Amino acid sequence: MSCSPGRRRRPGSARSRPALLAVLLAVLLAVLLAGAGCSGDDPPPSAGVPSGASWGYPAVVAAQVLRIDEAADAALASVVSRRDVAAGGARLSGPAQRLLTAELAVAVTRRRTPGPATRLAPSTVFVPQAGPWPRWFVEAGTASGRPTPVLRVLRSPVAREPYAVWAELAVLPGATVPAPVGDPAGAPSVGPHGSGLAMSPAQVAIRYADLLNRGRASAYAAAFADDDFRAQLGERLAGDRKRIMSTAVATLTSTHATVAGTGWGVRTGDGGALVVVELRQTYRVTVDARGGVVRADPDLAALGGRKEFTHGLVRTATEVLAFSVPASSKSPIRLVAAVKGDLSVAGS
């Protein structure tokens, strides 16, 4: 059902006032139940809503999710077939858009076929209650070409723009995605500084970044359960440092920082929330005056435009992470899904 204003009835109708009122109430109820979640996929109602308020119905309904998924899958397929991110139009945004831009640039430079576009078969949908824009919802399921389940995050920035794929995360081995709230009106959403959780979404981002930077020395180490993502980052950093030192006298530092405004959550059936954050990693190599050369792997060389760096390089990557955050600090916060990818390499 369209949420655009209906055609106005001319004055002088023979319909009685009580009957007309009943019809208007029925139409309003139909809009609330079937037209929920208006965005570019369905035009919005005209009534404004105060910031932080809910309209009392879900941001999206089942029929909309099917249409949004179909449009998102088609957009991703178009991007891959044309090797052009612009082909995704308004159905691709945020980290997903930036990562695909870098991946396609590498594929074109290395003259190789890009990986196939994903087609999602969702088994679970996390739907917040409708409220002001931007709006989000999250799907969990299997995707073609992916060996593990994925979380797809979709975002509508303003009322007149459709939901776009904002990120696709891989569920970590052994991780359990929490169950959604079983309420037809949707689940309460949690903003960056929302309360009622062991940590607000903004705190999750800041403190997990500190844990990545400081390891066990972080004051927040006990608040997070161990996870494969953090373990693999540590192993890669140690391996890179060893490889770089074999050909150059150099220093290597890695810093993880939060992206401005990051952190959003939706309440889950266990009383906690599924929280999504974005971090940015800056990986810096500085070659000492005593010399040597840093040799980049083929993908980094494609992004940086050169195979060898004699002075140093700066490598930037994005990290999108989904956490199961409990209501109480008595239980640890668990990372359930993640995606990480290089965006740029610069140096000389």
User: Which tens digit of pLDDT belongs to each residue from 129-164?
Assistant: 998 889 999 999 998 878 899 999 999 999 899 999
**Number of domains into which the chain is organized:** 2
When mean pLDDT is compared across 39-43, 58-62, 256-260, the lowest value belongs to 39-43
Which band of pLDDT confidence, cut at 50, 70 and 90, is reported for residue 42?
low
- CATH at residue 283: 3.10.450
Tokens of residue 46, six digits: 């005209």
d(CA 297, CA 308): 9
pLDDT at residue 173, as a whole number: 93
What is the residue-averaged pLDDT of the chain? 85
Distance CA 202, CA 15 (A): 55
Residue 328 and residue 246 share a domain = yes
> Rounded CA gap, 224 and 347, in Å?
35
* Domain shared by 166 and 206, yes or no: no
Give a yes or no: residue 313 inside a domain. yes
Whether 276 and 318 map to the same domain: the answer is yes
| 196 in any annotated domain | no
Which of these ranges, 32-36, 193-197, 260-264, has the smallest mean pLDDT? 32-36
Tell which of 131, 151, 171 closes a domain: 171
**Phi, psi (rounded to 5 degrees) for 144:** -60, 135
Domain assignment of residue 38, yes or no: no
**Long-range own/partner contacts, residues 286-292 (CB < 8 A, 24 or more apart):** 286/250, 286/251, 286/311, 286/312, 287/248, 287/249, 287/250, 287/311, 287/312, 288/248, 288/249, 288/250, 288/251, 290/249, 291/248, 291/249, 292/247, 292/248, 292/249, 292/250
Q: Is 22 domain-assigned?
A: no
Shared domain check, 149 and 213: no
What is the number of other CB atoms lying within 10 angstroms of the CB of residue 97?
18
Residue 45 has pLDDT above 90, yes or no: no
- Asked if residue 1 is part of any domain, the answer here is no
Same structural domain, 206 and 102: no
Examine the domain organization and report whether 207 and 316 are in the same domain.
yes
Q: Where are the beta strands (DSSP E) in 172-237?
A: 189-190
Supply the range of the domain harboring residue 162.
62-171
Tens digits of residue pLDDT in 157-200:
998 999 999 999 999 999 999 999 989 999 999 999 999 999 99
Residues 267 and 142 occupy one common structural domain: no
Q: Regarding beta strands 308-309 and 294-295, do their DSSP bridges make them parallel or antiparallel, or are they unpaired?
A: antiparallel
Residues 70, 141 share a domain: yes
Question: What is the number of alpha carbons within 13 Å of residue 270 lying toward its C-beta?
Answer: 14
- 78 and 154 assigned to the same domain: yes
